[in-house]
Structure 1
Amino acid sequence: MAELEVKGGKKGAPRIDLTPMVDLGFLLITFFMFTTTMSKPKAMEIQMPFKDENMQDEDKSKIKDGTALTLLLSRDHRIYYYNGIGDDPTKPPVIEVTYFKDKDGIRDVLINKKKTVRDLISQGILGATDKATVLIKPDSTSTTGDLISILDEMTINAIPIYAVVDITPVDREFIQKTEAAN
């Protein structure tokens, strides 16, 4: 409440007691703390495959060589890639190099792979349910940012099936041979 102090017959200046304002401030702070929702952490949902040591080969899902594209993430933001799975030792795949760039980058490679799979389906070589499948194999020299960027590219290009798998010694050998040739 405001009071007027009068001393010796002069007009007094009003004096305001601010004690109730402190109580009101704490009530408001408490109210907003309880009613505010905190920002939720953003996380990417990853579905991990079921791993069973006793599973038979015919029960495992198979990737057709015509639908597969293998990406090898390496140092200096390099992406080595080849069509197929690369599991035939008599015919090693042709390894090519690209980067995360706008022109002739990994996005163009993914778009071309999707187009190739659509063409193979229209020719009757692949079934109607086959889709482009990308195997992402990060090397120990690649960065986490590269993995996140390639996962973003999968989302941007609407690649329905992709998997992050361990890089094999054969794939590391492919990288070394390609670097030595260049």
Structure 2
Amino acid sequence: MQNLPKKVRSKKLSSRVDLTAMVSVSFLLIIFFMVVGELSKPKVLDLSLPEKYSNKSTNCVISCGGEHSRIITILLDENNKIITYTGLLVVARENPKKIDYSKNGIRKELSQKNNKIIEYSTALGKPKNGAIVIIKPSKKSTFKNLVDILDEMAIAKIDTYAIVNDFSPEESNLLASN
């Protein structure tokens, strides 16, 4: 017999695919998107605002008995201007002051006034009632100014404050004159 050439059979390759690398990449992508999702959540500032109080039979005006008024009004205007006064503008306890956003500016003013109010209320035998701050940002003030003043509220440890956008004609004139 003749030497017949042997048929060369092709080797069958394994049909099994190694998915180890694919699983690793998948886990890395899942972790990446979880971290990105967590970091992209908006940052919020905790506000401790007073509870709403409504008296339907009469219109209430905040009034505080005693020699010192607990109301401090802060007017925010363009170019980082702050004007503050104690009490109501019509019967303000002191002349309005123009103050800046510095450590010795609004922060010192708020801390001093809040401490005076707490001392006075403690002397009357009432619980430690602090200042009530009304923040009034004008249309020309920036969002940064509002955030800065809220930071100052937290630093001065003033818990009772409200953000209001209604200006009286006297307040509008005060902002225009300064």
Moved more, 139-148 or 163-172: 163-172
Q: 1:92 to 1:141 in 2, by over 3 A?
A: farther
Structure 1 residue ranges (4+ consecutive) displaced by more than 4 angstroms after TM superposition: 45-52
In the other structure, the counterpart of 1:80 is: 83
Aligned residue identity for 1:156: I
Give unpaired runs (5+ residues) of structure 1: 1-18
| TM-fit CA distance, 1:34 | 3.7
Residue of structure 2 equivalent to 1:44: 45
Aligned residue identity for 1:160: D
C-alpha deviation, 1:63, in angstroms: 4.8
- Residues 9-29 of structure 1, C-alpha deviation per residue, up to 9 Å, x if partnerless? xxxxxxxxxx74xx4333123
TM-score scaled by structure 1?
A: 0.69
Higher relative contact order (CA 8 A, sep 6+): 2
Note the alpha carbon deviations across 1:110-140, whole angstroms, 9 max, x for none: 111111102312432x832522111000011
- Number of matched pairs: 152
Change (3 A) 1:133 1:87: same
User: What RMSD over aligned residues (CA atoms) do the two structures have, in Å?
Assistant: 2.9
Per mean C-alpha deviation after superposition, the further-off stretch among 108-117 and 167-176 is 167-176
TM-score (structure 2 length as normaliser):
0.71
The aligned residue for residue 109 of structure 1 is 109
- In terms of Rg, which structure is larger? 2
Which of 67, 70, 75 is residue 70 of structure 2 equivalent to? 67
Q: Give, in whole Å, the separation in 2 of the partners of 1:174 and 1:92.
A: 16
Aligned pair in 2 of structure 1 residues 92, 155: CA closer, same or farther (>3 Å)? closer
Q: Which runs of 5+ in 2 are unaligned?
A: 1-16
